[in-house]
Amino acid sequence: MKIVWSPAHLGHSGHVELGAGVIEPGFECPERLDFVLEAWRAAGLGPELAPAFHDLGVAGRVHAPDYVAFLGEAWNLWTAAGYAGPALPMVWPTHNLRADLRPEAIRALLGYYSFDGGASFVAGTWDAVAASYATALTGADLVSGGERVAFAACRPPGHHAGRKTAGGYCYLNNAACAAERLRDRGAARVAVLDVDFHHGNGTQEIFWERSDVFFASLHGDPRTEYPFFLGAADEIGAGAGEGFNLNLPMRAGSGFEVWGAALDAACRRIAEVGVDALVVSLGLDTFEGDPISHFRLRREDYPKIGARLSALGLPTLFVLEGGYAVADLGVNALGVLTGFEGA
Question: How do residues 70-87 score in pLDDT, each as one tens digit?
Answer: 999 999 999 999 999 999
Strand residues in 85-182 grouped as ranges (E): 149-152
C-alpha span between 223 and 234 (Å, rounded): 13
277 three-state secondary structure: strand
Residues near 87 by beta carbon (within 8 Å), at least 6 away in sequence: 74, 75, 78, 106, 110, 120, 121, 122
Q: What is the pLDDT of residue 239?
A: 98
- Ranges of each domain in the chain: 2-14+27-54+125-342
- Would the pLDDT of 328 be above 90? yes
Mean pLDDT of the 27-42 span = 98
Whether 160 is a known active-site residue: answer: yes
State which CATH number among 3.90.740.10, 3.30.70.260, 2.130.10.10, 3.40.800.20 fits the domain covering 2-14+27-54+125-342: 3.40.800.20
Mean pLDDT of the 145-151 span = 98
C-alpha span between 318 and 149 (Å, rounded): 8
User: Mean pLDDT in the chain?
Assistant: 98
Set 9, 15, 63, 160: catalytic member: 160
Q: How confident is the model at residue 57 (pLDDT cuts 50, 70, 90)?
A: very high
Q: What share of the chain is helix, strand, coil (3-state, %, to 5)?
A: 40, 15, 45
Q: How confident is the model at residue 147 (pLDDT cuts 50, 70, 90)?
A: very high
C-alpha span between 100 and 102 (Å, rounded): 6
Q: What is the pLDDT of residues 276-289, one digit of tens each?
A: 999 999 999 999 99
- Would the pLDDT of 21 be above 90? no
Q: What is the pLDDT of residue 20?
A: 86
Q: What is the pLDDT of residues 84-137, one digit of tens each?
A: 999 999 999 999 999 999 999 999 999 999 999 999 999 999 999 999 999 999
Mean pLDDT of the 4-8 span = 98
Strand residues in the chain grouped as ranges (E): 2-4, 16-18, 23-25, 48-49, 149-152, 190-194, 213-220, 245-250, 277-282, 316-320
Amino acid in the structure at residue 193: L
pTM to 2 decimal places? 0.98
Mean pLDDT of the 52-57 span = 98
Q: What is the pLDDT of residues 153-208, one digit of tens each?
A: 999 999 999 999 999 999 999 999 999 999 999 999 999 999 999 999 999 999 99
Mean pLDDT of the 244-268 span = 98
C-alpha span between 304 and 108 (Å, rounded): 45
**Whether the bond into 315 is cis, omega within 30 of 0:** no
Q: How confident is the model at residue 335 (pLDDT cuts 50, 70, 90)?
A: very high
Amino acid in the structure at residue 271: A
